[in-house]
Structure 1
């Protein structure tokens, strides 16, 4: 009982502040969804198209957060503080450079990308407007990912929490003023979000630079270490790519169904993202505590932490599902005035609610294996899951089954992820001790 209480304290010490920091991030998208949703259904559908493109680009770079969390946690667990902050600085340089390159590339291709995932030309034009402005914030978004990951690895959850809360409040205030006060439409929503993203990035970088100086870690870019960080992130990129492809497939099917299903899909996807970030708080604990325990060479503690976090994941999933099911009838009113969109949403949200307990377990296992640096297996598992999910989602398109069945197919996706992750956790191949294990 004493071990369980100690494990629970460690988990909660990371998960509680991580939860509040994580849920503020998707609130930016939810704020944009609510503000734009009341402009009209085409504007909401345009946001849906733009969001899937932006989400794919940023999602592929999530290794900046996950990789730095695991690597920094391992070095802290082994008592190598200077090396930990050296890795944090390298990840910031990599994030800034990668963000600049991706921002230029996305701006140049915003037209065809918007058209590819939109349900009409009017929607595509609105999506491109949102995308063009949003590209200016990509370097900031990626720097925030890297900085937040490094801070989690050093068990500083408070700073990212404060920064994201402030940035979210600034985002909402700016968006309301720019969209409704200055009548800038979707461009105003994108502009407000970009300004909030740069505020968060500057704040977090200043904190990490100050701490790195105290730890005598070098601040200048070290090309070899930056390239090594990029190489180690490749398996996590593949893993994330499989997740993003599944989201793009679902968006394409929703777009094929029409403006109303695409608009409803944006709201449902934003709510699912919000729940995922909330449930991911235990996964962040998994990344951080697993990395530290393995870095310290304690396999027994790693197992104890993992099993307890799995129980927490299922419990929080049940809670999230219950709350969503209770709120499903009135939630759509917050995001749209279109009765057809509201009617399409309610049954889909009930399906999503039923899936949440499985999702909670999936996110925990994913976080544990990321913390263990088991990137190659996660990449392979992602490909297997995508192969299982693709025919399910395409079947919805081919049969014209309807919007709700699109989210039933998502349930199959979550079930396939659970099968691959649980299989891995039951073995010992991922339990590699010491500070040097990378994501590959």
Structure 2
């Protein structure tokens, strides 16, 4: 039960949601880290191709986070108000959206893969490797989106364990399959793409099966989908800001050197992995904050927000210390290329120092997403990207600052976001009660 004075909930309840969410969030980037380690031993060129292809494919999940985060926000409010069937039906409609949008992405991606890769890489060999990987991996796009929608509605009804097993089933089998296809069968970089698609097939099938077993109507409801798209609009614009930054960073790294883009891939994948580790407590916040506001418990929502912020800061500090300690060892797990290893320190220490800041930022992102405060997050992210990350990235290209310049831009971006979300949290304007938050 929540504390009647502070509104905080027992830590056991928070971590009962956060720990399984950590497994779900970490599974995909952990698989990518395994994939990076497998491909990295093929040499710098395949690693660079994976780096560019992986960034392009990541647009699928990062641009369409409303299918998970937006669905969680809407579902959690309905669940908190005692309307479980309606909450699950949100998941049905999010799944229909996932299928439709995913098929469009598959078609458009196949048409644009080559010209986009050539435009970003600035090197024909890197572009060729990226396109070979991407054309296969894109067949997993609709399945990735179905998995996102499934995670969204299950988090909203505070069912954290089943999504963990579904995602682990897919990624675990694929992680074993990846080195077999890359080395054993001899498919090289393309083998890693095939293994990626296998993971998505398994996970998506399990989430669809879970919806069918709920015995709710499965037909499309366009009114609900329209409401989801209203929230999705702001989250897509927010994601666009992230991806404009990270695509620009990949493009500038590619134009620096093959070794620089390989090093950027290694550190960026670690950054992505730890961002999702930190976001695990924020997933609990989304569910708990949304449910509290849906039940009309504003005090509890604010109490959970304070808890999650403290947990995020502590976890970020721990990660900072751990990854500082392994700075001489961990990079060698991903590559033996001397040139790539020489470039990694130019990004590594930014990545380490940012962890405590990231802990607070991601925690408060989770609080505000759980409250459905997407319009504020959209604006804060767009302004932070335009004022911090993007200018430093392109100045790095113009003045030859390399990875140090790129990661200085990320640092500014995170500081601007920190200021914005802390001010919003302290204001309390995000805590709007009701089973459905008005757009």
Structure 1 length as normaliser, TM-score?
0.96
d(CA) in 1 for partners of 2:223, 2:9:
40
Residues 302-313 of structure 1: pairs in structure 2 closer than 5 A: 302-313=301-312
User: 1:161-219, CA deviations, whole angstroms, 9 ceiling, x for partnerless residues?
Assistant: 112222121111211111111111111100011011110000111012212x1xxx211
The residue number in structure 2 matching 1:177 is 180
Aligned to 1:89: 92
Q: How does 1:1-400 map to 2 (within 5 A)?
A: 3=3, 6-211=9-214, 213=215, 217-389=216-388, 390-400=390-400
- For 1:67, what is the secondary structure of its paired residue? helix
| Distance in 1 of aligned mates of 2:120 and 2:394 | 15
Cα distance in 2 between the residues matched to 1:2 and 1:228 = 31
- Indicate the residue corresponding to 2:431 in structure 1: 431
Unaligned runs of 5+ residues in structure 1 are none
SS in 2 for 1:426: helix
After superposition, give the CA deviation of every residue in 1:365-414 in whole Å (9 maximum; x if it has no partner).
Answer: 11111111111111111111111122222222222123233222211111
Q: 2:418 aligns to what?
A: 418
Contact 1:119 1:262 in 2 (8 A): no
**Counterpart for residue 402 of structure 2:** 402
SS in 2 for 1:227: helix
Aligned-partner Cα distance in 1 for 2:282–2:246: 20
Contact 1:47 1:130 in 2 (8 A): yes
Q: Distance in 2 between matches of 1:308 and 1:203?
A: 33
SS at match of 1:109: helix
Instruction: Show structure 1 runs of 4+ deviating over 4 A.
Output: none
Q: Gapped runs of 5+ residues in structure 2?
A: none
1:77-100: CA deviations, max 9, x gaps?
Answer: 000011111111001111011101
Post-superposition offset of 1:147: 0.3
Q: Report deviation, 1:25.
A: 1.7
Residue 314 of structure 1 deviates from its aligned partner by 0.3
Q: Displacement of 1:347 after TM fit?
A: 4.3
CA RMSD of aligned residues (A): 1.5
How many residues end up aligned between the 2 structures?
435
State how far apart, in whole Å, the 2-side matches of 1:33 and 1:435 are. 43
Give the Å deviation of 1:42. Answer: 0.6
